[in-house]
Amino acid sequence: MDLETLLSYHWSIMTPEFIILGFATLLSLLDLFMPRKINRRILGWLALTGILAATISVFTLLGSAPESILYDTFRLDSFAIAFKLLLLIGAALVMMLAVSYEPRERIDEYRGEFYYLFLAGLLGALIMSSSGDLITLFIGLELLSLSSYILAGIRKKHLPSNESAMKYVINGGISTAITLFGMSYVYGISGTTNLKEMAAFLPTITNNQHLYLLALAFFMILIGLSFKIAAAPFHMWAPDVYEGAPLPVTAFLSVVSKTAGFIIILRILLSIFFNVPDQTGTTSLMLSLQDYLAVIAGATMIIGNVIALRQKNIKRMFAYSSIAHAGYLLVAVTAMSPFLVETTWFYLGAYLFMTLGVFAIIQIVTASADSESINEFGGLYRRSPFLAVSMSILLLSLAGIPGTAGFIGKLNIFMGALATDPAHYILASLLIATTVISYIYYFGVMVQIFFRQAESTKKFPLSPVVGIVIIICVAATVILGIFPNIAFDFLHEQFSSFKDFIQ
């Protein structure tokens, strides 16, 4: 590529990525040369500034016509902008938790590492949302994954953190190998790694052997990505990693990493396999293999909710809750309704606020008690009515009670499962049944909060920063539950139902 061609690209569409990359580089240099006596929290505030600047830059891109650079490997379309907003908002809230995070053992000597590794992982997720090529998708995925492995073990003198990092690395490596193997089949058959070119070429395939290999590639990519989103039966790493990782990292994995996982699933499945004909030539390969997706979705909902009933550790319980919510989203992916992307976007946004609000409260309660037992929430209402009421609203939303964002999200998925022909009655029934099961463990926490005695009457030290996170999350959960059209009108006005997706 000559200099003239390089300068001719419209690089401004990569402004959010350049901002995050610049701040990550700046933080790494500052952490290297700053005297050790200077508190590294200032680097966290710089990182938050970078995230907010990137968020503003994304808003300035609203309404932009679809554009691609670097030979269609990087795309800016409505899909990319919409999901970048979710990633950056979630990252900003997690960073606010991270700045206030203070475990029992001192982590000042490597606190700076956390902030720029966090930005590196976020950069990978942003690249995935704009990827128009399998290579850039994979690079973004690995940048996110490698950063997450290190972040999970950032508490170097904490054995559970070390254990979680090791399990995460092993399972992540297996999933990466399987995903890459599946991608290699798609590349071998199509002769290109570009998603747009694949979408144009693959519908012309009539060779049954090639179709068989594409079906095999579909299963390998699906299995590999199922590890990433902790879908059953590939979820076994999640509870241990969520429990052992520092709480801000758990929040990052639960929200940002899971959102990125569904971004790559939608990018690959919709642009590649939805356009591939099956062996009969009457429907797409994706639709003919729906039953296998449905089995994973159903198993994920059942396993996540049932095993959560037995958990005594609050972080493990929410790990299984996260698995269950991945199952709910897989119902939407399986149904392939006309409003799949809108449904997924809204649910991930609602899940973002619900989950981060809960983890903010967990960070306050567990740090005070130095324990992650659910019993530590006993008598929370008497010790801090603000935390108790906030936690209750967020739990009700996670359970899908009407008047909350969680209810609207599940209702959209339920209606999407019934809006297709044929309708997915079994999946819709499982969605309702497993949601009812989830009431048991969510309400179990509320029983501890309101009806159990507190072991201590000492008030919780509430950081203003964490308090702001809780207020934002609770307000968004209630507002999106009562006025969901705020989000849907924004989607329709700014993104036109994602009609420019892979065009």
247 and 313 inside one domain? no
256 and 374 inside one domain? no
Strand-pairing partners, residue 74, are 69, 131
What is the Cα–Cα distance from 350 to 397, expressed in whole angstroms? 9
Question: 241: Cβ–Cβ under 8 A, 6 or more apart, which residues?
Answer: 152, 164, 165, 167, 168, 250, 253, 319
Counting the structural domains of the chain, the total is 2
251 and 393 inside one domain? no
393 and 493 inside one domain? yes
386 and 408 inside one domain? yes
SS3 track for 28-78: HHHHHHCCCCCCCHHHHHHHHHHHHHHHHHHHHCCCCCCEEECCCCEEECH
User: What pLDDT was estimated at residue 232?
Assistant: 86
143 and 187 inside one domain? yes
User: What pLDDT was estimated at residue 108?
Assistant: 62
Q: Tell me the backbone φ, ψ of residue 235, rounded to 5 degrees.
A: -100, 0
What Å distances lie between residue 447 and 167, 174, 324, 495, CA to CA? 33, 40, 22, 42
What Å distances lie between residue 333 and 49, 337, 455, CA to CA? 35, 8, 45
Domain boundary among 219, 249, 281: 281
249 and 375 inside one domain? no
- CB 220 within 8 Å of CB 181: yes
Domain boundary among 252, 281, 310: 281
310 and 275 inside one domain? no
User: 3-class DSSP state for residue 368?
Assistant: helix
SS3 track for 193-238: CEHHHHHHHHHHCCCHHHHHHHHHHHHHHHHHHHHHCCCCCCCCHH
186 and 335 inside one domain? no
Q: Tell me the backbone φ, ψ of residue 131, rounded to 5 degrees.
A: -75, 135
237 and 294 inside one domain? no
353 and 436 inside one domain? yes
- CB 46 within 8 Å of CB 34: no
- CB 175 within 8 Å of CB 234: yes
Strands (E), 321-372: none
Pairing of strands 67-69, 74-76: antiparallel
Q: Which domain holds residue 174?
A: 1-281
Domain boundary among 230, 246, 281: 281
Question: 448: Cβ–Cβ under 8 A, 6 or more apart, which residues?
Answer: 374, 375, 377, 378, 379, 380
Residue (of 227, 140, 145) closest to 179 by Cα position: 227
249 and 351 inside one domain? no
Chain-centroid distance of CA 53 in Å reads 21
The torsion defined by the Cα of 394, 398, 402 and 406, in degrees rounded to 10, comes to: 100
User: What pLDDT was estimated at residue 249?
Assistant: 92
- CB 197 within 8 Å of CB 189: no
Which is it for the CA torsion 299, 302, 306, 312, positive or negative?
positive
Mean pLDDT per 10-residue section of the chain, whose length is 503 residues? 70 93 94 84 93 96 85 89 96 94 69 90 95 93 94 84 89 92 94 90 87 92 92 90 90 93 91 82 82 94 95 93 96 91 94 96 84 87 92 95 95 93 92 96 94 78 90 96 93 81 59
Q: Which residue has the tokens 């060779």?
A: 207
What is the Cα–Cα distance from 433 to 408, expressed in whole angstroms? 17
**Helix (H) or strand (E) run with residue 440 in it:** helix 425-451
